[in-house]
Amino acid sequence: MKNILITGGAGFIGSHVVRLFVTKYPDYNIVNLDKLTYAGNLANLKDVENRPNYTFVKADIADLDLMRSIIRDHRIDGIIHLAAESHVDRSIRDPFTFARTNVMGTLSLLQAAKEYWESLPEGFNGKLFYHISTDEVYGALQLNRPDGVEAPFSTRASSERELAFGTDFFTEATAYNPHSPYSASKASSDHFVRAYHDTYGLPTIVTNCSNNYGPYQFPEKLIPLFINNIRQRKPLPVYGRGENVRDWLFVEDHARAIDLIFHRGKVADTYNIGGFNEWKNIDLIKVIIKTVDRLLGNPDGYSLDLITYVTDRPGHDMRYAIDSRKLQSELGWEPSLQFEEGIEKTVRWYLANEQWVNNVTSGDYRRYYEEMYSNR
Ligand code: NAD
Ligand code: DAU
């Protein structure tokens, strides 16, 4: 495979995937297709933008004719599809944009790929449409262990499955049960991808990943928002009681998994990606506070007073936890970073890149943020 289309490459995870592919595969032509919404920033790719095997195309994935011509003009062999509206809170306020991009956009891309590949003498041979999805499509897990043993709320969950916050995990066989407009739109796009395989034979793969964190994440998501707010001595809005649990994975480990699955994954298959790294929000927030305070030279506990409990997110899923043993045993992938290292790296990056934060949070986002918190 030579000509690879990566959609959403100017966003958080996409920029890490583009960087990995452009540097690791000098023989591939990497085409980064992105609409550059508020979440897409070409500044995320400054270090690779002049590489000879990299091209950027500004386009909306929901524009079917444009998808047809881009895929044909660049003679695309493989697609790694990340472009999406990705923030749950925004989906609650504006579900239509999520349906348009995540559902209709994915459908347009599928149709354009199918038409182009069908027109070639080799057909679908050697082609791949790889869709990046989320664990949120599976719904929410219980917080307590079904056997009644109380979960270890005051400590971080162990990566040992049996000691975690519950005994149930999302596997590749878990039935879809999305709750938010975001997860409903991602579930719908996953179904369309599988339908294009089952109906037309399009070679597809879907992966469902847990919460990512790391450099270049837009500071509306929990970890970068809180790092930034602590730095500015702004309140830290904890939804509800801060007891919801998420399973966190360093973004470069997700990018490595995508590379592996793109090259060695089984067509028509699904892989779950996660770090066996569950944290209750409030415990994670305390780790962030501790790390930021230490790196800023503040006394331990200095920023704890910024914690502000606010009205809960409507329909807030209680717990996500991914069982990624299939990926580990079939393809030999493992997360490379301990969570403590990942958080340290992430906090250091945000503190050193204040200008990036200021640039991406100007304008539209500032208005959205002010409106969002004016009534909580
Ligand atoms: P992001 O919001 O940081 O980036 C999304 C990118 O898509 C942006 O560059 C944006 O400009 C682009 N985009 C949006 N609408 C577009 C359109 N209509 N046409 C073309 N480009 C468009 O998102 P992210 O966190 O990097 O997530 C990337 C993908 O991974 C998404 O599909 C998301 O559902 C999935 N995912 C994210 C996480 C996570 O924790 N962030 C976890 C699992 C799966
Ligand atoms: O699980 C994968 C998903 O993870 C991805 O598919 C999404 O694209 C990504 O945004 C993320 O979704 P979450 O809703 O879990 O991430 P977020 O960072 O928005 O919130 C993490 C947790 O923190 C969640 O329980 C809500 C809570 N939260 C979030 C924000 C922004 C707060 O308590 N306060 C906040 O200000």
More confident residue, 54 or 364: 54
E strands, the chain, where?
Answer: 3-7, 29-34, 54-58, 78-81, 128-134, 204-209, 211-213, 236-239, 245-250, 270-273, 278-280, 307-310
Q: Which of 116, 182, 239, 320 is catalytic?
A: 182
CB-based contact 372:223 (threshold 8 Å)? no
- Cα gap 11→222, rounded to integer Å: 16
Out of 88, 186, 243, give the residue to mutate to test ligand 2, the one with the largest number of ligand atoms within 8 Å of its CB: 88
For 179-238, what is each residue's pLDDT tens digit?
Answer: 999 999 999 999 999 999 999 999 999 999 999 999 999 999 999 999 999 999 999 999
Tell me whether residue 193 is exposed, middle or buried, using C-beta atoms within 10 angstroms of its C-beta: 0 to 12, 13 to 18, 19 or more. buried
CB-based contact 109:81 (threshold 8 Å)? yes
Residue 234, classed as helix, strand or coil, is: coil
What is the Cβ-side half-sphere exposure of residue 371, based on CA atoms within 13 angstroms?
9
- Work out which ligand 1 atom sits closest to the CA atom of 38: 11
Reported as a pLDDT band with limits 50, 70 and 90, residue 375 is: low
- How far away, in angstroms, is 145 Cα from ligand 2 center? 23
Reported as a pLDDT band with limits 50, 70 and 90, residue 176 is: very high
Judged against a pLDDT cut of 90, whether residue 101 lies above it is answered with: yes
Compute the average pLDDT of residues 303-332: 95
pLDDT at 167: 67
Compute the average pLDDT of residues 25-45: 96
Residue 77, classed as helix, strand or coil, is: coil
228 lines ligand 2 (CB under 6 A): no
List, in sequence order, every residue forming a beta bridge with 55; answer none if it has no partner: 31
- Cα gap 20→25, rounded to integer Å: 8
pLDDT at 362: 81
Return the DSSP state at 213: E
Q: What is the pTM of this model?
A: 0.95
- Cα gap 359→84, rounded to integer Å: 21
Reported as a pLDDT band with limits 50, 70 and 90, residue 277 is: confident
